[in-house]
Structures are given as structure tokens and as C-alpha cells.
Amino acid sequence: MEVILTHNKSDFDALASSVAAKKLHPNALVILHDDIQENVRHYLAIYRDHFSFIKRSDVDWRNVTTCILTDTHSAEETAMLSEQASVIIYDHHPPPKKKQKNYQYIMEPTGSATSILVNRIKEKQLDITSEEATLFGLGIYADTGSFMFSHTSKKDMQAVLYLMDYGMNLEIIRQFNEETLNKKQQKLFHQLLSQQETLEHNGVRITICRITVRQLEGQLNTVTEKLLEMINTDAVITLVHTKNKSFIVGRSRTRRFSILSLVKPFGGSGHLGAAGLSVHGEPEAIYDQLCRVIPECMEPSASARSIMTHPVKTVTSDTSVEEAYNLMLRFGHNGFPVVNEKDELEGIISRRDLDKAMQHRLAHAPVKGYMSSNPYFAAETDSIEYVQKLMIEHNIGRVPVFGSSGTITGIISRTDMIDWMQQDTAYAVQKKKNITTYIKQYLQPTIAYLLEEIGLKAEKQGLRAYITGGMIRDLIMERPSEDMDIIIEGDAPSFASAYAEAKNGMVHVHESFGTATVTLPEQIKVDFSSARTEYYERPASLPTVRHSNIKEDLYRRDFTINAMAASICPATFGDLLDFFNGWDDIKEKTLRVLHNLSYVEDPTRILRALRFEYRLSFQMDARAEHLVKEAGSSIKTLSNSRTINEMKLFLRKQILTSVWNVFLY
């Protein structure tokens, strides 16, 4: 006997994922909980006859051979299964730390459990009715907040697009997914709103709404979400005491406060940003325990140093407007700190200031006449929330950051702040990728050890070190690699020279490019380069190089699949930096350029794109292919040596026909 089971207080995602699971397991019986949410009950009052359910009381658990769980990875009923029974789990919540034997875990970080199942139905090309498509859509829309919640994923949207082909009815979804509160919920909402207290821990505001009632009437999850929308706070915890039990529901809009960590001591589970449970016990004891747990759920505040752009580009106060304007165009910046001859901060000059000065034909004038004086600034140790407050209160677009020595070490722009805010969601932590397992599995032990050793040495010197390029690409493709390209945020040649000396190796330095190659006694080569940005004075020329940070270094790369890096410093070893979605492009075997002038600036990238198509079976996307046709003739402007080097690689792969086609564009 096979059964499909979900959690109690079943919402639309629980119901829809259960029905979807039956499409994949047609012999299984779907168990419907007695305890379901009110809007789900209203839906079933009309549409129940379209689906078949059984009650838990109808199941003899000793005869169950397979139990399929959806939208949860634990259920009380599994304790009644025989030892030979197997359990299959379809869930989008964080996986348990300890996995059970005879359990098959199908868990993905989607916004909805239903999406996981619908995408598998799509893969198997199974037919579904319009009623099933609408229910599945309800599950996805409800759990993703109509695609507005931060944990919504691409797979959720793909699932809904598929459901539309099968008659998914948006009007029915709108009707039952309505977020307005009914009379009971409105009463509960106002009761909780009138009994609130706000705590602040390390810059995070947490509001507790606590009441005692005879009986809980209304859906506490929905009410808690409405409270979070209404109150100016980072997280809301609702605590409702009744005669028999207490109900705890939490919602958080920041990753710095984990609701999942909050409910775990009470035996609960859920998302980092949303969870709830009911517990037995004395109300005051539960409240006191909750207050003790809250500080333990806090992530320490990140510092300005963690998000600042560095090294910072500055101009002196006597730099001309025209020169500063050209520097901004060259580096794509919208402002520079202005310093005097002692490197002391005097002001900020913005792109807008320079535009106006240029329009008034003041290109020759020094920037000190047009800069903003008395700029606001922050220390490296200041919290990001403090910097954010500076930007909002004073309407400024960039904040210089000072180190302990009193000199400017970086700058935080609006873009840096937006990037941090986009990552600062409770679900973002789950999406963060770490490739340590890939490193251990696909690299030779000697190579893996060297990476750890280099990262440790870099960290001891206050530097950040990363692997990048082909090694990252190959690891994600689950292929071995010996292509050791190390990026150092700092002086790579000096670091490489010291490393070579310590290892009795040989070093070859290219000072003009900020690179060095170390050959170790065991004949292993390691390429080091300083994080850098580059610009092209003219198409097809060699680039001019300037020291920069890891993000700008990756942005100068050819394709997204080569524009990733992973930290090798001990504290963050394996953490992947993927600013341009290279991971997804590798999985989908797609070649994407990073900007529209990529082929114009370096036409060898055209030849490289064709080589990747043949060597890795990748395919250029429509934009990359169009840009090849537009810029193909620029290959003729390459120097003979650069063309010959690329042609040698082509000859090895015997794909001269494709090269000839490029010349014909």
C-alpha cells in the first residue's frame, strides 16, 4: 500500500503537492488532513469531487509499503511504518541535518513544493486536467506570494508557464488566493496589533505581538504576514495563548534573523524567513523561552568593509574636469572621492557635477570648484545599516570608507548597497553555493591541498584569494582540472614571490599585468594575478590594466561561464562568487557574453566562443550569436601573433570550417 501525506494545517501548497504527487505515483492514495486552512476548506467545498482523498483513520499503517511526504520532511505517522517501508520526500524547506535510512530526499530550494512535482510531471510528459492545473497553480501562487516572495525561483515560474498550457484558471486562483482578511482575521489582527513590543538586537528590529484568547479564530499565518507589512520592523513574532496550547508564528524580511532557528528549540520546522508551530506549556514559560532564544537567532551585523568596493579610485583636487570625466567613462563609475596631496578626503565629485561642468565648457577647470565638500564617510568597522542610514537621511550616492590608519580604503556606492539588500533576505542564505565538495571530489589531493595552503597564507597576510576561470567551470561540469588560476585582492607578484621562496619554487613575474607564475619543485604551475580591471584604448588592442576588486576582475572576462570565482581562504573556503549567473549557464550549456562590446574590444573571443561550442558542446545564446555577426570582421584587426595562437587551438580541434564562416560574416 502506498500513501501520500502532507503536514497538518494544510495550505494550498500542501494540498496541491499531494495531488501532484499522485500523478507521479498513480497507485498511491492521497490522505487529506482534518486540520486544513480555512481558504483551502472553502476551495474543497466546491472542487473536492475533482480529486480523490482518504482519511488518516482509514489507513492501516502496518500495511504501508511506501509513504510519500510533500511540503514537509517529517510526519508523526512515519513512526508507525514497518522497518521495511520506504519514505519519499518532495519538499522545498531546508533539508534536515540528519537523514534517515530508507528515505529518498527530493528537495530543491524553490518557492513552492508543488513546483518540484510539476516540473517532474513536465519531464515525464504526463497529462493533467484543467482542474489539476488550477490547483497546482494555486499552490505555487500561494507559497510564492504571487511570485513576490524572495524565495521564489526560476523553477516556480517555469512550472506555471507549463500549467497555463493545460488550462490553469487565473480567475479561480485570484479568487481563492485573495490576501484580504475575513472578519475573524481582522479581529485577531487588531488584537495583536494593540499588544506589541519591539526589541532591537544589533540593528535588527523584532516585534512580538502577544495575546491570550479563549480560542484561536482566524488564520494566524496570514495575519502575521499582514502585521509584517503594517509595522515598521524587520521581523514579527505572533504568540497566541489559548486554554490548551500556544501558537507561535514568525515572519522575517532579513536574513540576519532566522525564524527557523527561533522555532527549532520548540520542535518546529520551516523556512529561514517563515515558520510556525503550536506548543503545550505555561504561557509565561513559553514567552520567557522565546525571549531567551531570540538573541541566539541573530546573525552578526556585517561591516562596511564586507561590501565596500576596493581599492578605491580617487582623483586629486587639482584634476581637471575633463580628465575626471574621462576616467569615469573609462571605469564606468558615477563618482570619485577627491583627495589632496596628503591623500586626505576633501570632497566627492559626481558624474552629474562633471556633466554640468562640461556643458558649461569648464573642462579645463579643477574639480575642487565643483565637488561636494564636507562629505559623509564611514569606518570599515561600521555596520552596513549605519551606512544605509547615511545614504537615506542625506540622499547621497556613495560613502567613502576609512581604515584604522585613517586613509580611504574603499567606497560604498548605491550599487553596492542594492546588491547587499538583494542578498539580505532570509532565503538568500539557502541559495548561496559552496563548491568545497566539488574541489575534494574532482581535484587531485595535491592540488586541493595547495589551494588550502595558498588561501591560509593569503589570509594571514590580510589578503583575499580566489580560484577562478577554467577550474571553476570544470568543477561545476564535474570534470578534473589542473588549471590553477589564483586571484589575489592585493599585490599578486609580491605574494607569489614570497610563496615561491617558501616552497623552493621558481617565479616569473609580469609586473605590467600584475601577474606571476610559480613553478613548484614537483613541476606544478600556479598562476597568480592581482584583481584588476582593464580598458581598451581602441578595438583589438591589448588592454590597459589597473588594480581593482574581484567583481570588476570577473566583469572583464569573456563569458559568464568563465566569470566565477571561489574563495580559498579558510573562513570562506569554497564560497562561490557568481555575479552573472554563470552556474545556470553551465548547467544549460549556454554561452553568454558579459557586455555588448565584448567582441569589439577583443575579437579573439569570437574564436574562443566557437572553440567552446565544439569543445564543450555549448551553444551561444541569441544575443552572443548576433554580436558575433556584427563584430566578426574585427578579427582582421588582430595582430598576427594573437591570431596564430588562437588558430593553433582551432587546429588541434579540427574546426577550421567554423573559423572560415566567421570571416565570411
Residue range 154-188, pLDDT digits in tens = 999 999 999 999 999 999 998 888 666 778 888 99
Whether 317 maps to a domain, the answer reads yes
Chain centroid to Cα 305, Å, comes to 20
Kindly provide the b/e burial profile for residues 525-555, where b requires at least 16 CB atoms within 10 angstroms of the residue's own CB: ebbbbbbbbbeeeeebeeeebbbbbbbbbbb
Mean pLDDT across 568-586: 91
Q: State the pLDDT at residue 641.
A: 67
With cut-offs at 50, 70 and 90, classify the pLDDT of residue 564. Answer: very high
Q: State the pLDDT at residue 100.
A: 84
Mean pLDDT across 232-241: 93
Task: For residues 600 and 539, state if they share a domain.
Answer: no
Range of the domain at 275: 183-297
Q: State the pLDDT at residue 656.
A: 46
Residues 6+ apart with CB under 8 A from 351: 328, 333, 334, 335
Please tell me the distance from the alpha carbon of residue 49 to that of residue 535, in angstroms, as a whole number.
66
Task: For residues 125 and 222, state if they share a domain.
Answer: no
Query: Is a pLDDT exceeding 60 seen at residue 650?
Result: no
Kindly provide the b/e burial profile for residues 410-439, where b requires at least 16 CB atoms within 10 angstroms of the residue's own CB: bbbbeebbeebeeebbbbbbbeeeebeebb
Query: Is a pLDDT exceeding 80 seen at residue 206?
Result: yes
Task: For residues 464 and 603, state if they share a domain.
Answer: no
Task: For residues 39 and 12, state if they share a domain.
Answer: yes
Task: For residues 517 and 613, state if they share a domain.
Answer: no
Residue with the larger pLDDT of the pair 39 and 112: 112
Ramachandran region of residue 206, left (φ > 0), alpha (ψ -120 to 50) or beta?
beta
Say which DSSP state 188 is in: H
User: For a pLDDT cut of 70, what percent of the chain falls above it?
Assistant: 90
Whether 463 maps to a domain, the answer reads yes
311 preceded by a cis bond (ω within 30 of 0) = yes
With cut-offs at 50, 70 and 90, classify the pLDDT of residue 651. Answer: low
Computed over every residue of the chain, the mean pLDDT equals 86
Please tell me the distance from the alpha carbon of residue 622 to that of residue 627, in angstroms, as a whole number.
9
Query: Is a pLDDT exceeding 60 seen at residue 662?
Result: no
Q: State the pLDDT at residue 655.
A: 46
366 preceded by a cis bond (ω within 30 of 0) = no
Whether 602 maps to a domain, the answer reads yes
- Calculated CA dihedral for residues 618, 154, 90, 96, nearest 10 degrees: 90
Q: State the pLDDT at residue 311.
A: 77
Chain centroid to Cα 192, Å, comes to 34
Chain centroid to Cα 208, Å, comes to 29
With cut-offs at 50, 70 and 90, classify the pLDDT of residue 152. Answer: confident
Q: State the pLDDT at residue 219.
A: 76
With cut-offs at 50, 70 and 90, classify the pLDDT of residue 405. Answer: confident
DSSP 3-state of 15:
helix
Ramachandran region of residue 478, left (φ > 0), alpha (ψ -120 to 50) or beta?
left
Q: Please give the helix or strand (H or E) that residue 131 lies within, else none.
A: helix 130-143
Query: Is a pLDDT exceeding 80 seen at residue 242?
Result: yes
Span of 222-236, 434-448, 511-525, 638-652 with lowest mean pLDDT: 638-652
From 539, 561, 580, the end of a domain falls on: 580
CA distances from 487 to 278, 440, 508, 534, 575 (A): 50, 20, 16, 15, 14
Q: State the pLDDT at residue 212.
A: 93
56-74 tens-digit pLDDT:
888 888 899 999 999 998 8
Indicate which CATH number applies to the domain containing 414. 3.10.580.10
Span of 131-145, 382-396, 638-652 with lowest mean pLDDT: 638-652
Please tell me the distance from the alpha carbon of residue 332 to that of residue 335, in angstroms, as a whole number.
9
Task: For residues 14 and 116, state if they share a domain.
Answer: yes
Mean pLDDT across 90-97: 86
Q: State the pLDDT at residue 642.
A: 62
Q: State the pLDDT at residue 294.
A: 92
Find cell 595562437 and name the residue.
645
Task: For residues 187 and 87, state if they share a domain.
Answer: no
Q: State the pLDDT at residue 342.
A: 84
Please tell me the distance from the alpha carbon of residue 357 to that of residue 321, in angstroms, as a whole number.
7
Task: For residues 364 and 511, state if they share a domain.
Answer: no
Indicate which CATH number applies to the domain containing 661. 1.10.110.30
Indicate which CATH number applies to the domain containing 513. 3.30.460.10
Query: Is a pLDDT exceeding 50 seen at residue 664?
Result: no
Mean pLDDT across 276-284: 91
Query: Is a pLDDT exceeding 60 seen at residue 525?
Result: yes
Mean pLDDT across 191-208: 90
Q: State the pLDDT at residue 540.
A: 45
Report yes or no: 78 and 87 within 8 Å, Cβ to Cβ: yes
Number of structural domains found in the chain = 5
Task: For residues 230 and 257, state if they share a domain.
Answer: yes
Task: For residues 12 and 154, state if they share a domain.
Answer: yes
Whether 428 maps to a domain, the answer reads no
DSSP 285-314: HHHHHHHHHGGGGBPPPPBHHHH-BSSPP-
Please tell me the distance from the alpha carbon of residue 583 to that of residue 566, in angstroms, as a whole number.
12
Strand order in the sheet with 204-212: 196-201, 204-212, 235-241, 246-252, 274-279
Indicate which CATH number applies to the domain containing 114. 3.90.1640.10
Cell digits of residue 632: 566578426
Find cell 538568500 and name the residue.
428
Mean pLDDT across 289-315: 86
420-466 tens-digit pLDDT:
776 654 444 445 689 999 999 999 999 999 999 999 999 999 889 99
From 262, 297, 332, the end of a domain falls on: 297
DSSP 3-state of 274:
strand
Q: State the pLDDT at residue 427.
A: 44
From 161, 176, 191, the end of a domain falls on: 176
Range of 141-150, 531-540, 627-636 with top mean pLDDT:
141-150
Range of 15-24, 381-390, 462-471, 581-590 with top mean pLDDT:
15-24
Q: State the pLDDT at residue 648.
A: 62
Indicate which CATH number applies to the domain containing 190. 3.10.310.30
Task: For residues 571 and 489, state if they share a domain.
Answer: yes
Mean pLDDT across 585-591: 92
Task: For residues 473 and 555, state if they share a domain.
Answer: yes
Residue 34 phi/psi, 5° resolution? -75, -30
Residue with the larger pLDDT of the pair 202 and 437: 437
286-297 tens-digit pLDDT:
999 999 999 988
With cut-offs at 50, 70 and 90, classify the pLDDT of residue 536. Answer: very low
Report yes or no: 22 and 84 within 8 Å, Cβ to Cβ: no
Q: Please give the helix or strand (H or E) that residue 147 lies within, else none.
A: none
The end-to-end CA distance of the chain, in Å, is: 64
Mean pLDDT across 251-270: 86
Span of 55-59, 364-368, 418-422, 519-523 with lowest mean pLDDT: 418-422
